[in-house]
């Protein structure tokens, strides 16, 4: 309301997401729109429980979130990440983007930084070739102590 430009921008993004669902013959439901809205406003991966608690009171069941994330992952609209704490995390992926990237996570406060650097392609290719594997990819996350937690 107080910023027409930004408001329009956000509305378009949500529309892009829902149109992507429509294109795949998926229904735009209240819970799904609410979940996308939350993901859209978070730059880092969220657990299903975190999404659940961000949702307005009784907006949607936890099981529905689990099912929604499974579907969004299958459509390539979210990327699943594993920080090693036993709960899957999901992050929205832009169209025409495979979502492959990494994170730097504080082991004290769990704060997260997006990391664009990736494992060197040529080394990965060498690992694949050496062992006769095809379609090789990787899962990689960094862990350390963030600036705040060092104080």
Partner DNA sequence: CGCCTTATTGCAAAAGGTTTGCAATAAGAA
Partner DNA sequence: TTCTTATTGCAAACCTTTTGCAATAAGGCG
Residue 61 found at the interface with a copy of itself (CB under 8 A): no
d(CA 71, CA 94): 16
Site string for DNA, 6-45 (x = CB under 7 A): ----------------x---xxxxxxx-------------
96-135: which residues touch a copy of itself (CB under 8 A)? 104, 106, 113, 115, 117, 119-120, 123-124, 126-128, 131-135
Q: Which two tokens stand for residue 2?
A: 């107080």
| Contact (Cβ atoms closer than 8 angstroms) between residue 6 and residue 61 | no
Give, in degrees to the nearest 5, the angle at Cα 26 between 91 and 101: 20
Helix or strand run (H / E) with residue 14: helix 4-23
Binding site partner of 145, from a copy of itself, DNA, Mn ion, none, Cβ cut-off 5-8 A by kind: a copy of itself
Q: How far is the CB of 43 from Zn ion (least distance, A)?
A: 18
Q: Across the strands, what pairs with 113?
A: 104
Site string for DNA, 40-79 (x = CB under 7 A): -------xxx--------xxxxxxx-xxx-xx--------
């Amino acid at each position: 309301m107080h910023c027409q430009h930004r408001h329009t921008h956000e509305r378009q993004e949500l529309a892009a997401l829902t149109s992507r669902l429509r294109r795949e013959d998926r229904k735009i439901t209240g819970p799904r729109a609410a979940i996308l809205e939350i993901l859209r406003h978070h730059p880092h991966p969220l657990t299903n429980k975190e999404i659940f608690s961000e949702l307005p009171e009784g907006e949607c069941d936890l099981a529905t979130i689990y099912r929604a994330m499974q579907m969004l992952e299958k459509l390539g609209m979210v990327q699943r990440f594993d920080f090693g704490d036993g709960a899957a995390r999901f992050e929205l992926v832009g169209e025409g983007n495979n979502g492959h990237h990494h994170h730097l996570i504080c082991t004290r406060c769990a704060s997260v930084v997006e990391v664009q650097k990736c494992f060197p392609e040529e080394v990965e290719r060498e690992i694949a070739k050496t062992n006769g594997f095809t379609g090789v990819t990787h899962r990689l996350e960094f862990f350390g102590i963030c600036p705040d937690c060092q104080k």
